[in-house]
Amino acid sequence: MIDIENEAKKADVIIGGFAVQKCEEGFRILNLNNQFGAAVLKDDGTLIETNMDDIELSIAKDYFFRSLKYMEN
């Protein structure tokens, strides 16, 4: 089981209950309200893998694109 508190601390941005973290593949997104909802996206937002349903993924991607401006160096 995932340690939600630890994942939240490692996140670059938390927006709308989704923790977004930069990783080697691009970005990792974890739904903090449903610890089984996770996705990995490339830098351009292309989906690499997920176990989210279509609605959850759509919401996560929307929050991902909104959060990009906060993660720029």
Long-range contacts: 10-19, Cβ < 8 Å, 24+? 12/70, 12/71, 13/67, 13/70, 13/71, 15/63, 15/66, 15/67, 16/59, 16/63, 18/59, 18/60, 18/63, 18/64
What pLDDT does residue 71 have? Answer: 77
Q: Which domain holds residue 31?
A: 4-71
How many domains are contained in the chain?
A: 1
pLDDT band, residue 1 (cuts 50/70/90): low
For the whole model, what pTM was predicted?
0.87
User: pLDDT of 32-68, one tens digit each?
Assistant: 998 789 999 998 999 999 999 999 999 999 999 988 8
